[in-house]
Structure 1
Amino acid sequence: MKHRHTHITLAAIVLIMLCSCVREQFTPSGLSGGEGYLYLQFGTAQNIEISTKASLKAESENRIMNLYLFVFDGNGRKIHSKFYDELERVNTEAELSSFDEGWYKVNSTEYGKSSTGTIKLKAPTGSGFKIYVFANIDGDMVKISSELLSHNIDTEDDIKNFKVYINQETTSRNGYFPMSGSIDNVTIKDGSNVSASNIQLERIDSKVVFTFKTGTRPDKRGQVIKSFEPKGWKVFNIPKTSYLMGHDEDACNVDPTTPTGDYSQYASMFFDSEWMNFEEFPDDKTSSFSFYMMENRQHPKNTSFTDYQQRSKRIKTSTGLNATQDVEYTSLSGKTGTKSRRLFENANDFSTYVMVSAKVTMELTGEEEGQTLGGYVQYIIHLGDWSSTIHNDDGKHWDDDEYSGVTNFETRRNVTYNYTVTINSVDNIRIEVETSDGANIENQPGAFGWVTVAKEEIAICDSHYESRTLTFHAKNMFEGTHAAVDDLSWRVVTPFSEGSPEVGRDGEDIPAGLDYKWVHFRLNKKDSDGKFYDQSRRKYTNRLFTETTSFRSADDNAESDGSGETGLAGYHNDGLMDIMDLVKYLKAQAHKYESWLRNGGNYDDYKCDFDSEEIDKAKICVTAFVDEYYYDADPIFGGSSPTLWKRFVNQSDRSIHLLSNSNTSKDLESSSTGSVITIQQKSIKSIFNTDEDYTILQNAWGLESVDEYASVVNAYDKDGYNSKDSGKNTDIFNGLANSVFEWGLAPSGVTVGDITTIQSGVRWDKYLDYETENSVPQMQSDYKYLRYICLSRNRDNNGNGIIERDELKWYLASIQQLVGIYVGGGVLDKSIRLYNRTTAERNSNEPSVWRQHIISSTNYEGENRPTVLWGEEGTSTGHLLGSFNWGDGLTSYTVRCVRNLGLSDDAPIKDAPDDFITATKNSDGSYTFECTHINTNALRYYTTRELDLGDENSELNHLYKKFETAPADKTWSTGGLSFKDLNNSVSAYGSSVYAGYCPDGYRLPNQVELAVMRYYTGSGSGENSIVSSGYYPSRTYWSFGVLGVGGTGKDGGNKYGFCADAGNIALSASASFTKARCVRDVRVE
């Protein structure tokens, strides 16, 4: 890892005053005896340019909004104090001469340049004074206010010992960064103007930036990483408190010799963040995230080591397990709990560290060439200040990298830490596991996870029903002519169980306590030469597999779904196998093949299903039928609950390893599985709150991870962008009801508001063609369009060939569900979000490449065409033909398939799941929006301050748990303002009090808040919402617009940011704003 750090520059932007305003100032009263004027110059420490979506830009990090000044004499007694707020600031430095006291600033918008200013104060005369200045108090993130300081500071010691505490357990900041500085030996002369030297203001926060890169250096086996896919990050041991002024020791300093049994005394002074997603992807091999925290400089337990890999070495128990300590703690909200803390051998157990989870795939070489390695890994990285020389290009390996200062675990205030982590391999995890039967070797103690090496393939499946052909080659089950399968088994990993079956006395598998019934298998058909089809899939059947002593013909094994199709001939009934059946069958076939290889003779006499007499060509092919990643009941203990979905939604992939053997490290942190084939399935993703203690939310909806056939099926219907919908799919929220009408399955005479079931007797094979190759969607040619594609995510579960109500689970998302995916996008991986173009695609100048429009199941009123959401804009919508006309002739589209959570499969179709937002109209005309149904990882912090200007992808564009609108529009009479001019003014002065764009205590909304007002007031169509008459501004600019990419923006339209335009959320090009509908957060504990 390469490490760089630089003191943070707090600079802010020189903003032009764009509205007429009057500050109340008073003519100076002059000096009395024993008084003088002091002009105190101030500036901010410098910073390097490192910014991501979660960290703020120079304008925000460098902003100075207010100042509190204290003057102490040589004995530490307070002789003067003064709070300088925005209303006492003058526009030019020259104006200070007209007032007794005041201040002036020039905020910088550039990294590397300091914000500067001057404070004028009238104070008693004397020498040897010490002056303290604090900036940006009265914010929301840190408990420090003008009132708190005025009541608690009487002496210099009070300042030195003053501790500040965070108000919210978050790694984000709202643009009001508390800063502090001091200057000694100041003299104020009687009746004179005196200028003092510059006082430097430093932030009390640290800024941490991590950049992960996919490496190119071979590991010790000569293998090179193929891909690194980040999954999330989490920060541990974040301090809740710090001294206001810098100290040699932290406000909460834990002696490294403290007995672990005493840790509960300190646990409440630290917190852990939630798991968060990576934010930036500069290119396809680079990803990054950032966060803020108070300083943490705990002393390490041991400083005698020199190897970087030992920084995160864990303490082991006598049995080789990693040691932990349970501690009690109290959160800021007063909630008590218990958590298990990791114990480290060298690092202080309260030093801050980051955990990163990722999926890694490797190119295998040598004896393993042609096999696939996939690993889900986690890395622990302790923060600190060290130096390194990394040998990436000279043929050297792990042990040749050079480090110094590895015993430093400090994170200091006002410092930016930039960590670059290059991932070259998962080999250290493999070594740890593969040697776990012997010595307890850990080459990289901070890395752990589970690794799979599959001889054939690792089949990755989405969360819906899926079928996939799999091939078992005989050569992968043999060592020479010996069938090496007797010691092979199978292994399963799900949210409900993990492990392999026990083996009974009779050699049969005992699967007690294992969740394995979600994958079934059926032998593939054969061609005229008796060779298995290795690509063509089978259809699902409810007939269970049974071997027979007599040969059954294809007619004997005909399909039981009423189609009359012939089946697969053989010494079996062509039924469905579970994993135990399949493993048993494959082992038996391997032994039959072994007998023939050894004894020769007539191959057919051995009744072996391997399809070639040449071992290198012999194979058995099956179709795997993977159930949707959904549980109606606990698969181990039984019993169902309306909120059971919270236990398996947004979880890690579940997997089944076929013909496998596994090893686990002695500390049980890492495992390695070798298999012939591994099936991994992604979980259902959801934007909803999955906290099981949040019982008010009983049902919801979730979505698939990817539209896997987007490159194959991208037209809505046979007429492309000019297609019409049914006109009856009018529900903005209930996508299932809309879809049933779009698929032609609705009974006659019903509407989306009263439909309960579907037509009877409609066959699945009207729409679906089951026996297609893996790369081809299972749709009949007349229905191979986006309008019907979500039907293929379902299955004929009872095998009768008829579409039943309870078999329609996955459907085309409604427009409001698409908006929900955008609103809750913060909890979703980048690849799952509505706009998921790669970096290269985003940078393309071809509209068909960088634009991404998603078709909903909701009719666009008055058009008889589906409503389309413009993914590159977030919440902007239009009809299908408009997407073509105004989207640069776009003709390729995508969809999102979703399913209900917590509702029974046969529930009336008109019954939609709970909404992700609850809106209430208040008696004064204001609206209150409850957002607690949304996953907390998709929400932002609470603030009473103005939101910083950010793009549509930033955290600044997220919702808080609850917010409300002002009772009415706020208008201004100073003339219309453009998006740029209005937001420049708000960035400089805020939108209320001084600027006058919002009532006192309110602020301008971001794009998502504006969209919520559009969808949740009035009828929901947008035409009669509270933001439907004219233009309403937001604080969100477009990442593809003028402020995002410069010039005239990506589409050449001089578009700056988002607004409400006659009820639709759109981009402002020529909009002139004369009013706003302002909002404010409502605190929720």
Structure 2
Amino acid sequence: MKKYIYLLCVLSFVLTACRDDKFGSEESSGSAALKLKFNTSNNMSRAVSSDEEERRIQNAYVFIFNQDGTKVFGRFYDGINQQNTYQIEIKDIPAGSDKTIAVIANINTAIFDLTTADLEAITTQPDLLALTSRMQDGFIERGSQFLMSGTTTADLTANTTNPVNVPLKRVDAKIRFNVTTAEGVTFTPLDWQVVTVPQIVNVLPTEVQGQFEFEGNYFNSSWNNFEITATNTNTFAFYVPENKVNPRKTIPAVGTYAGQYALREKQEKMPNSDGSVTNGAYEYADERATHVKFRGNIHYIIGSGKEVSADVTYTVHLGAVTGVNDYNSLRNHFYTYNVKIVSVDDIIVEVESTTQGEPSPGSEGDVVLAKEVLEFDAHNEVFKTVFHQSDIDQSLTWNISTPFSKGAENENPKDYEWICFRINTKTRTTYNGDFEKYKGDNGVYTDAELAVTGNTHPLDKYMADINTGNDKMLNIKQLINILKECKRRYTDNGTNSGTLFDSADEIVFTTFLKDFYYEVNPENTTETEENGLWKKFVNTEKRVLNILSNLKYSADHMSTKTTALYSIRQASIQTMYNKEAAENFTAWGTEMIQDENRYQFETQRIRANRTYDDKDNGRANTINMWMASSGSEEWDTYINSAKWEMQAAYNAAKYKCMRLNRDMDGNGRIDENEVQWYLASINQLTDLWIGENSFDPQARLYKRSTWEESLQWYASSTVLDKDEEGILWNKTYRDNPDILWSSEGSSIGKLTGAGAIDGAIVYYRCVRNLGIPKNAAKTVRPDDFATYDEATRTITLTRLDAKSIRGFKTSEELDDHNERDVRGYNKPWKAFKINSTTHGNNLSWQTVIARSKPGGRNPVCPAGWRVPNQRELALMYSKMPRNSTSWPLTDHFAKSSFSFNPVGGDRIGFSVKNEGGVFYLLHNNSNEIGGVRCVQDID
């Protein structure tokens, strides 16, 4: 890869007192007063936290030391809550020269463990200089909890009020990455991670570099998603404590700067007996140097018309401000890294190198150059593959990359049975363009059935079966073997006689892609299901099969290059569940690339009055919706198998998830165990909003940057009401499903609330259970990622993925934000408690928000409690009973405002109506008067 990194806006504001004279080194007699002003530096530009939060001084501890380092004053000032500047007056300080005044601001937070007691214990200036603080968790976000410090020296004249200014500097550096591409190149980001983040920091600045032991003092962040911006910029930002570290070895000042810069990511190479190498430690960067990894897919077309698709991982060590040997991230600095992706040429050069050359050590990836790249979602799919005799060469084979296997056929990867091929029927001398029917999961040839017998090639057996209509489906190993034999005979005979080629010298297959789901680990020799196996294949990179390909590795086997006819790529199931949790539990996930068309919920009234009203169990709803109790429905009734499209009468949101499934036993009937992908229930749609930060951005329900009220209804499988016509035996019904307004996040209501049932068109979302056997009864539902304890009024989210958890814990009100805030304010913490009573009763939403500021003087909630954000209120709404005990007021407000509300608009914020009647967007009406169910972050 050609990679250009620019460091922009490296800001450090250091304000010091200006001095010309000294009074000498002796202490003076008498006492002095001190008018002390301490101020934060300018904000660190574009925010992770807001400008106001980066500048907020919540509290401060002030020290004054004599020239010999003895403490003469120490006091804690609480409840400041000022931005930029705060001023106090201190009296009766011994006068004298070279006094040191030190201020430590924003202590007693949930981010760093520094407390008032720690500072009270300081008795000398050297004690304070040696003081460190440790982060209490792996935080890379801050909220308004920025630990700051500053010192200055001053001469205090007796019997005078001496003005002194102490600049405060945040102990953190802020980092932002912007990833752009050259024209014609597309980068689809996956995620990013910060590696080797210091967990400990000096409270005051120090010139000592690399002073902390590596073990126990550094951590890696979780993988995080890129930010979603209105301009589709690929960007992300984070905070890290100051990290000052010397290089392990100096990069020689030889060659170009770009060449020197590339060596920052170079690793030691340890030779293996097979000629490959194993990567060791970084050669020049110290093990304590912070670096960033980010992953994604690069796609572009090269001059030959081939598509280039590469799954890449890039590593960037922070620093390089003062030169290639700089690995520092300094406190109170803002670093912007602009990374431009031009191509994957350097990865290709590395793979093809005969000297173990590595032009860009920080670039790794699997590069595919294919005649055609086919992209599919996580569900079952049907498509055609066409093989012309000119595409086939005896040296070509296949290779795969999945969560379980990686490699070419000669490396014996086990995970290849997720795709199979059935040859199309011929119309006269050419193959038919329609799809063939799936023959069932057991309708694939075994290797024994296509084994060589005597001088007979498996092709002969296969052709005989085709002629009698007894042919089965082929796996990829069998397909390649048969294609090569067809090409050998074609070449030897000079004709397509005795082969499968048609008059156009082509062979056409209906290709069946299985859903990205595993009941057993394909690399295991046993057939037993592993507990929690789903955690290994959700939210992963796409699984890939390259057909008619060759595969080359780099020396360290971290990069590959494949040339292929077809590169078939399938997205993984996306879930908000925490796959890193050690606990074994079941879950559910969603497709990634949703259908962007809208449909009526159903196209016709029906006579059957079936019940499907579960708010949580979408699979049970869907089975009841599609199937009569007799189970006599036929696939062909709903789906045109020749085109794999819905029949016209069923081309409706109610049925669209059906085509994501498959006739797994090939008997033509829809069986319950064949309904694996189903229409989400109403609470599952809400959960997709709660956990959307854990998804690939393509999988989110609402991806627009403006509000389009009439375009964002998602219909659920939860139907509590029906429109009924006729009398007695002549009745017909039309469903009135619960729907979610995705542009509002998680506002819900009935379809009739969005307009007439007959005319409304809606989106739909298909989901799938994880870890539940496919033959499980429809009543079996996945475990919830949120648990509610009614006795303690606590919601716990240990099963929710870290990307959907707020990156910091707080005991104060959240800063003002909207429901789509990228700073984390509309995320829940790992667990929160709900206050037993309501507060701020009989207030408007505007009044509640005005009084609910961080450190505010007249808060609505009691000390240590706060107004819930919109997602927390949505969790409360879906988990707490919907009655007057839980929801006694007319309205129960969230802190979050509505992002799409125009200036002066009426759509202001979010609320739950009395008795949990509805979760909705406020309209600034005079009757919208209520209060707050306050919440509290807990461990």
TM-score of the aligned structures, taking structure 2 as reference length: 0.89
> Counterparts of 1:133-282 in structure 2 under 5 Å?
133-151=103-121, 153-187=122-156, 189-190=158-159, 192=160, 194-216=161-183, 224-225=184-185, 227-250=186-209, 252-253=210-211, 266-282=214-230
Q: How does 1:949-988 map to 2 (within 5 A)?
A: 949-953=816-820, 954=822, 955-971=824-840, 976-979=843-846, 981-988=847-854
Aligned residue for 2:798? 932
Task: Give 1:344's aligned residue.
Answer: 282
Counterpart mapping for 1:573-612 below 5 A: 573-597=470-494, 603=495, 606-612=497-503
Pick from 699, 717, 739 the counterpart of residue 868 of structure 1.
Answer: 739
Aligned equivalents of 2:775, 2:14: Cα separation in 1: 59
CA RMSD after TM alignment: 2.8
CA contact (8 A) 1:132 1:180 kept: yes
Question: Counterparts of 2:907 and 2:14 in 1: how far apart (Å)?
Answer: 29
2:521 equivalent among 612, 617, 634: 634
SS at match of 2:235: strand
Provide the secondary structure at the position in 2 that maps to 1:299.
coil
Q: Are the structure 2 counterparts of residues 571 and 764 from structure 1 closer, same or farther at C-alpha, using a change threshold of 3 Å? A: closer
Deviations 1:950-1003 (A, max 9, x none): 22233221122211111111236xx73443x5334322534xxx4241122211
Contact 1:9 1:48 in 2 (8 A): no
Q: 1:942 to 1:411 in 2, by over 3 A?
A: same
1:278-427, aligned counterparts within 5 Å?
278-284=226-232, 286-300=233-247, 301-305=249-253, 306=257, 307-319=260-272, 343-365=281-303, 369-386=304-321, 405-427=323-345
Give the Cα separation in 2 of the matches to 1:1069 and 1:139. Answer: 36
Whether 1:541 aligns to 2:488 is: no
Choose 59-68 or 663-672, whichever is displaced more.
59-68
Give 1:608 deviation, angstroms.
2.8
1:188 CA drift (Å): 5.1
Partner of 2:22: none
Report the CA distance between 1:945 and its aligned residue: 2.8
Q: Which of 453, 465, 471 in structure 1 is aligned with 2:380?
A: 465
Do the aligned partners of 1:835 and 1:872 also contact (CA within 8 Å) in 2?
A: yes
Cα 1:244–1:890 shift into 2, 3 Å? farther
Tell me, in whole angstroms, the C-alpha distance in 2 between the residues paired with 1:1023 and 1:814.
21
Match of 1:1066 among 920, 924, 938: 920
- Structure 2 gaps of 5+ residues are 16-28, 451-457, 724-734
Task: Give distance in 2, aligned partners of 1:552 and 1:323.
Answer: 47
Distance 1:35 1:883 in 2: 74
- Partners of 2:906 and 2:606 in 1: how far apart? 31
**Any idea what the Cα deviations from partners look like across 1:401-427, whole Å, max 9, x if unmatched?**
xxx822221110000111111111111
Q: What is the aligned length? A: 880
Instruction: Give the Cα separation in 1 of the matches to 2:831 and 2:382.
Output: 42
Q: Which of 527, 532, 547 does residue 431 from structure 2 map onto? A: 532
Q: 1-side partners of 2:616 and 2:638: how far apart?
A: 25
| TM score, norm. by length of structure 1 | 0.77
The answer (yes or no) to whether the contact 1:377–1:447 under 8 Å persists in 2 is: yes
Do residues 854 (structure 1) and 854 (structure 2) align?
A: no
Residues 849-928 of structure 1: pairs in structure 2 closer than 5 A:
851-860=711-720, 864-884=735-755, 891-922=760-791, 927-928=793-794
User: Counterpart of 2:646 in 1: which secondary structure?
Assistant: coil
Amino acid in structure 1 at the alignment position of 2:150: G
| Structure 1 residue 1078 corresponds to structure 2 residue 934 | yes
Distance 1:1067 1:724 in 2: 36
Shift of 1:42: 2.3
CA distance in 2, matches of 1:571, 1:353: 62
1:150-178: CA deviation from partner (whole Å, max 9, x where unpaired): 12x11111111111111111211131111
Quote the residue 1:14 is aligned against: none
Residue of structure 1 in register with 2:691 after alignment: 824
Q: SS at the partner of 2:878?
A: helix
Structure 1 residues 549, 311: CA separation in 2 closer, same or farther (over 3 Å shift)? closer
Report the 3-state secondary structure (helix = DSSP H, G, I; strand = E; otherwise coil) of the residue aligned with 1:430: helix
Q: Name the counterpart of 1:561.
A: none
C-alpha distance in 2, partners of 1:491/1:678?
10
- Give the % identical residues: 29
Judging changes above 3 Å, is the alpha-carbon distance between structure 1 residues 322 and 149 closer, same or farther for their aligned structure 2 residues? farther
Which amino acid in 1 is paired with 2:299? T
Q: Name the counterpart of 1:1040.
A: 900
CA–CA distance in structure 1, aligned partners of residues 790 and 782 of structure 2: 22
Q: 2:507 aligns with which of 620, 626, 630?
A: 620
The alpha-carbon deviation at position 290 of structure 1 amounts to: 0.5
Identify the residue that residue 416 of structure 2 maps to in structure 1: 516
- Residue aligning to 1:120: 89
* Contact 1:78/1:155 (<8 A) preserved: yes
The answer as to whether partners of 1:458 and 1:677 remain within 8 angstroms in 2 is: yes
Given the alignment, which residue of 497, 500, 507 partners 2:408?
Answer: 500
Partner of 1:24: none
Instruction: Judge conservation of contact 1:716–1:723 (CA < 8 Å) in 2.
Output: no
Are the counterparts in 2 of residues 642 and 903 from structure 1 also a CA contact under 8 Å? no
State the partner residue of 2:73. 80
Work out the CA distance in 1 between the residues paired with 2:888 and 2:308: 54
- Give 1:649's aligned residue: 538
Q: Which residue of 2 aligns with 1:835?
A: 702
Q: Is the CA contact 2:840–2:848 (under 8 Å) kept in the aligned structure 1?
A: no
996, 1004, 1013: which one pairs with 2:867? 1004
CA distance in 2, matches of 1:724, 1:249: 80
Distance 1:516 1:672 in 2: 19
Aligned counterpart, 2:565: 676
CA 491–6 in structure 1, closer or farther in 2 if over 3 Å, else same:
closer
- Taking structure 1 as reference, are residues 170 and 65 closer, same or farther at Cα in structure 2, changes over 3 Å only? same
Distance 1:572 1:1015, change over 3 A: closer
Label 1:552 to 1:311 Cα distance change in 2 as closer, same or farther (>3 A). closer
Between the aligned partners of 1:10 and 1:797, the Cα distance in structure 2 is 69
Say whether the 8 Å CA contact 1:646–1:692 is kept in structure 2: no
Q: Is the 8 A contact 2:154 2:164 kept in 1?
A: no
- Provide the C-alpha distance between the structure 2 equivalents of 1:983 and 1:34, rounded to a whole number of angstroms: 50
Q: Which amino acid aligns with 2:90?
A: L
Report what 1:742 is aligned to: 625
Report the equivalent of 1:944: 811
Structure 1 counterpart of 2:731 = none
Task: Report the secondary structure of 2:920's partner residue.
Answer: strand
Structure 1 residue 380: deviation in Å? Answer: 0.5
1:659 partner SS: strand
- TM-superposed CA distance for 1:213, in Å, is 1.0
- Once residues 492 and 80 of structure 1 are traced to their aligned partners in structure 2, the CA distance between those partners, rounded to angstroms, is 69
Per-residue CA distance 1:308-366 (angstroms, 9 max, x = gap): 22221111113476656xxxxxxxxxxxxxxxxx611222222111001010111110x
Give, in whole Å, the separation in 2 of the partners of 1:1028 and 1:714: 38
Shift of 1:746: 3.8
Contact 1:1033–1:1073 under 8 Å retained in 2: no
State the distance in 2 between where 1:620 and 1:854 align: 42
Q: Secondary structure at the match of 1:816?
A: helix
Deviations 1:586-637 (A, max 9, x none): 112222322343xxxxx56x13332235xxxx32221111111111122232
Could you say what secondary structure the match of 1:41 adopts? Answer: strand
Q: 1:46 to 1:321 in 2, by over 3 A?
A: farther
